[in-house]
A and B are shown apart, each in its own frame.
Chain A
Amino acid sequence: MSTHILGISAYYHDSAAALIRDGVIVAAAQEERFSRRKHDPRFPRGAVAYCMEAGGIGAQDLDYVAFYERPLEKLDRLLDTYRSFVPKGFGSFSLAIPYWVGGKLDAKSRIRAEFEGRGADEMGFPRKDAIGRGAFRGEIVCIDHHASHAASAFYPSPFQDAAILTLDAVGEWATSSVGAGHGHEISLAQEMRFPHSVGMLYSAFTYYTGFRVNSGEYKLMGLAPYGEPRYEDAIVENLVRIAEDGSIWMDMSYFSYCHGLTMTSEKFHQLFGGQPRRPESRITQREMDLAASVQAVCESIVLKAGDYAHRLTGLSNLVMAGGVALNCVANGELLRRGPFDRIWVQPAAGDAGGAVGAALHLWHQDLGNTRAPNPDDSQSGSLLGPSYDIEDSALMLDSLGADYDDYRGDEPGLLRRVAGLMAEGKVIGWFAGRMEYGPRALGSRSIIGDARSSLMQQTMNLKIKFRESFRPFAPCVLRERAADVFEVGADLDSPYMLFVAPIRAEWRLAPNEQDLPKMKDPDLSVRLAVPRSKLPAITHVDYSARIQTVDERRHGRFYRLMKEFEERTGCPVIVNTSFNIRGEPIVGTPFDAYRCFLATDMDFLVIDDLLLDKDRQPIGLLPGLQQYRMQQPLD
């Protein structure tokens, strides 16, 4: 008799669900992919329903539901924080506390209600439809937030023993934690506590530079290479004290996130010479320098914390999770500098990953079940979301009147055709197999193209993403060729796009005289358009790239496509960006993909075995495409 555990993260941001059967991850997905609402914080109804369907079970078959944090512990932190800043903070308090007593504290009851069809929809109408078949009679267990992160990092990792480092904004009280995992047991030894948090520090600068907290941090990271760390000293001398062990103390007079409705205080603004940048306004050199500075500080903290984790545990492997673990520049630096031989980062390192972590924690740590690490890891390439039957996809396209070429039973033919199209500079929407779990598109819901094309970056940004971007796209590289193109070890395994590495000198291009003035242009997209390497679409201005290695075992058809492309062109690298437009969650279903394909200037779309040519699609097939393009919020 199998034991089924459903992990849930919800009620903050990026809600998600994961199903574990006897310790094996059967399915995991973020709710935003189903609800089409980016960073959806609501109960993950769609994701839960999918997980149970994927597991072939009903609610009555679930033994436990594991929730990824402990609400009362968080309330404790909130109350202590507010009472320490009285009389400040009333605006924040009057918004926060009703939200808690209005339901967040009753997370367990709310979850139970959802299973029993007693939940409420957005408008307050009672929902009569229970999730899944049968009645859920199991137990609902709350797992500590950082324990969930730690479990999400250690249990799926390929290591029997590893140091554990979680770096986050905040969970209950902890903002970071350090410890070790041995076999099936995790032992977190130490934590840093709120409000001293590397995630908060980074988010404060995200806010100050005009990006959205909780989602714009990756933009700040992408902006950093344009700047000089001119403010690094100011940050270290005023805002944050970094101890040799990587722990930090932050001067709260510069921040207002404890009591206010903003991240930074007037004192912070005076220190850095002005008010926060208005979102979507022009990015100036100041923002670039601020980004470079906080990135340098963040890297320094991560490196020191890594050293400390190594000293504390004496282990040669490291696993990481928490939002800061998505900082792939810092991860790459830690990997290159050591002291760890190998590092594994949970691909859904943010709160969404808490769903997997909470469930695995319950299975291994609390129920005491043993674990046998998989040398490749147990995350299955993070391809844990839904896939779609080709018959259903064809039926959907037929019903819409779409025109497509059917390659069922002829994979080599499909790959030859697509590789040829890519070599011609066409942009391809690639929808294949199971959807990714985590924030990155890893070759299942991706837009792909030729990384050698100097126009690819601009085309993808302006005609498909509808944005002026200062960030290059990420490269997918054949795993066995990664060391030929990038400055990485021959054994590098980076299937989750979580490490940045420099491109090798022989691939780099020195800018010519015509390009030199462009490299100082205030418009960053002009700077980015100056080719820095023979792979301009994926090379940042500092010659770095966010690598995803692709191998046959994990990636199957996607690997074979890249191999075909390499045989045709000699190039082992392609461009990979998420299959969506600006502000939209990554596409989830074939219909989402087809709509996005029609609404943009993508040239071709592959839905598993079906190939669609934009030029052959009847005009006016889907109404409301303009509205679809415009309704997406700013990201």
Chain B
Amino acid sequence: MLSLPYPPRRSHLRGFWLVLTLTLAPLYMGALWLFGPGLAMTASGLVLFGAVVLGFAWAPLPKVLYRIWMLAAQRFAVVGRLYVAALIHFLLLPSAGRAEAALALSDPKGSMWRPYRAAPEGAGGSVAAEEKWFMQLVRESRTRGRGWWLLLLPPLMVLSLFVADAKDDKSVPENIYTLF
């Protein structure tokens, strides 16, 4: 639903119209079976058939529906994203406890230099594989002792379905670093 590109190319419109036709056809057949043939069904069948043919011949028709579909999809993505993000943020993250010590939010006094702890990944190193992010998360949750990451995994995977609008980097504020 969210992977449709916008604005669409002609091939996208044709594909969209074909899928719409293939979806509506069984629905119409079902209605025909349910209500039986009659004037209303014949008339609506003719209108639908005409619309399908017109849609393949005249691009503005599928374009309008495509646009409506995409707007609805975007709204759904925003709501879905906020819903899942809220679930993670307000329920799951607190269950993992705070990490104030890691961030040194209270002044520990003295030097703030700490031992350098990054282990640069070398060629052929253990983390060299090109895994999908969720596989990395599973593996690293074990090696880092962060089992609570596994709790986040299902909602994060759902969240990744709602990223169409997040790919637009205009939605990312410029004034903060922590996003990155």
Q: Which of A72, A93, A172, A196 is the one whose CB lies under 8 Å from B118? A: A172
Q: Is the CB of B112 within 8 A of A192?
A: yes
| CB closest chain-B residue, reference A312 | B113
Q: Is the CB of B116 within 8 A of A177?
A: yes
Q: Is the CB of B180 within 8 A of A74?
A: yes
| CB closest chain-A residue, reference B102 | A80
CA distance in complex: A105, B133 (Å): 6
| CB closest chain-B residue, reference A123 | B5
Whether A278 sits at the interface, judged by CB under 8 Å, is: no
Q: Is the CB of A83 within 8 A of B98?
A: yes
CA distance in complex: A249, B114 (Å): 12
Which residues on the A side are within 8 Å of B128 (C-beta)?
A: 139-141
Q: Give A631 Cβ to nearest chain B Cβ, in Å.
A: 16
Q: Is the CB of B115 within 8 A of A170?
A: no
Q: Is the CB of B99 within 8 A of A102?
A: no
Q: Is the CB of B123 within 8 A of A212?
A: no
CA distance in complex: A457, B85 (Å): 51
Q: Which of A83, A196, A362 is the one whose CB lies under 8 Å from B93? A: A83
Number of A interface residues in the complex (CB < 8 A): 94
Which residues on the A side are within 8 Å of B121 (C-beta)?
A: 70, 141-144
Whether B82 sits at the interface, judged by CB under 8 Å, is: yes
Which residues on the B side are within 8 Å of A212 (C-beta)?
A: 174-175
Whether A79 sits at the interface, judged by CB under 8 Å, is: yes
Q: Is the CB of B140 within 8 A of A72?
A: yes
Which residues on the B side are within 8 Å of A87 (C-beta)?
A: 89-90
Whether B81 sits at the interface, judged by CB under 8 Å, is: yes
| CB within 8 Å for A84 and B103 given contacts A245-B113, A262-B176 | yes
Q: Give A365 Cβ to nearest chain B Cβ, in Å.
A: 7
Whether A195 sits at the interface, judged by CB under 8 Å, is: yes
Which residues on the B side are within 8 Å of A393 (C-beta)?
A: none
Which residues on the B side are within 8 Å of A96 (C-beta)?
A: 172, 178-179
Q: Which of B105, B157, B167, B179 is the one whose CB lies under 8 Å from A92? A: B179
Q: Is the CB of B120 within 8 A of A365?
A: yes
Whether B61 sits at the interface, judged by CB under 8 Å, is: no
Give the interface segment out of A154-162, A253-261, A284-292, A532-540: A253-261
Which residues on the A side are within 8 Å of B175 (C-beta)?
A: 207, 212-213, 261-263
CA distance in complex: A64, B130 (Å): 13
- Produce 1/0 per residue, B80-117, CB < 8 A to A: 01100110111001101111101111011011111111
CA distance in complex: A103, B175 (Å): 21
Q: Is the CB of A92 within 8 A of B97?
A: no
Q: Is the CB of A109 within 8 A of B179?
A: no
CA distance in complex: A592, B89 (Å): 47
CA distance in complex: A108, B180 (Å): 16
Q: Give A608 Cβ to nearest chain B Cβ, in Å.
A: 36
Whether A407 sits at the interface, judged by CB under 8 Å, is: no
Whether A60 sits at the interface, judged by CB under 8 Å, is: no
Q: Is the CB of B93 within 8 A of A82?
A: yes
Which residues on the A side are within 8 Å of B117 (C-beta)?
A: 173, 191
- Produce 1/0 per residue, B147-180, CB < 8 A to A: 0010010001101101110110101111111111
Which residues on the A side are within 8 Å of B96 (C-beta)?
A: 83
Q: Is the CB of A82 within 8 A of B89?
A: yes
| CB within 8 Å for A106 and B171 given contacts A189-B115, A191-B113 | no
| CB within 8 Å for A124 and B82 given contacts A109-B130, A144-B118, A247-B113 | no
Whether B30 sits at the interface, judged by CB under 8 Å, is: no
Whether A361 sits at the interface, judged by CB under 8 Å, is: yes
Q: Which of B100, B123, B149, B177 is the one whose CB lies under 8 Å from A64? A: B123
Whether B125 sits at the interface, judged by CB under 8 Å, is: yes
CA distance in complex: A92, B174 (Å): 12
| Most B CB within 10 A of own CB, among A99, A109, A243 | A99
Q: Is the CB of A174 within 8 A of B118?
A: yes
CA distance in complex: A252, B99 (Å): 14
Whether A338 sits at the interface, judged by CB under 8 Å, is: no
Q: Is the CB of A92 within 8 A of B9?
A: no
Q: Give B134 Cβ to nearest chain A Cβ, in Å.
A: 8
CA distance in complex: A603, B164 (Å): 47
| CB closest chain-A residue, reference B92 | A83
Whether A188 sits at the interface, judged by CB under 8 Å, is: yes
Which residues on the A side are within 8 Å of B86 (C-beta)?
A: 90, 94
CA distance in complex: A112, B130 (Å): 9
Q: Is the CB of A90 within 8 A of B98?
A: no
Q: Which of B90, B115, B140, B179 is the one whose CB lies under 8 Å from A95? A: B179
| CB closest chain-A residue, reference B100 | A84
Q: Is the CB of B112 within 8 A of A95?
A: no
Q: Give A428 Cβ to nearest chain B Cβ, in Å.
A: 34
Q: Is the CB of A367 within 8 A of B177?
A: no
CA distance in complex: A98, B78 (Å): 11
Q: Is the CB of B85 within 8 A of A93?
A: yes
Whether B23 sits at the interface, judged by CB under 8 Å, is: no
Which residues on the B side are within 8 Å of A97 (C-beta)?
A: 85, 88, 156, 159
Q: Is the CB of A194 within 8 A of B120?
A: no
Q: Give chain B interface residues in 1-36, CB to chain A under 8 Å.
A: 3, 5-7, 9
Which residues on the B side are within 8 Å of A188 (C-beta)?
A: 116, 118
CA distance in complex: A64, B97 (Å): 40
Q: Give A65 Cβ to nearest chain B Cβ, in Å.
A: 11
Whether A366 sits at the interface, judged by CB under 8 Å, is: yes
Whether B122 sits at the interface, judged by CB under 8 Å, is: yes
CA distance in complex: A83, B89 (Å): 8
Q: Is the CB of B176 within 8 A of A194?
A: no
Whether A78 sits at the interface, judged by CB under 8 Å, is: yes
CA distance in complex: A342, B160 (Å): 49
Give chain B's interface residues, CB within 8 Å of chain A. Answer: 3, 5-7, 9, 81-82, 85-86, 88-90, 93-94, 96-100, 102-105, 107-108, 110-125, 127-128, 130, 132-133, 136-137, 140, 144, 146, 149, 152, 156-157, 159-160, 162-164, 166-167, 169, 171-180
Supply 10 A–B pairs (Cβ within 8 Å), ascending by A. A82-B89, A84-B103, A101-B163, A105-B136, A109-B130, A109-B132, A124-B6, A177-B116, A188-B116, A251-B107
Q: Which 9 A-B pairs have the closest CB atoms?
A: A102-B163, A105-B133, A247-B112, A98-B166, A366-B122, A80-B99, A144-B118, A94-B85, A190-B113
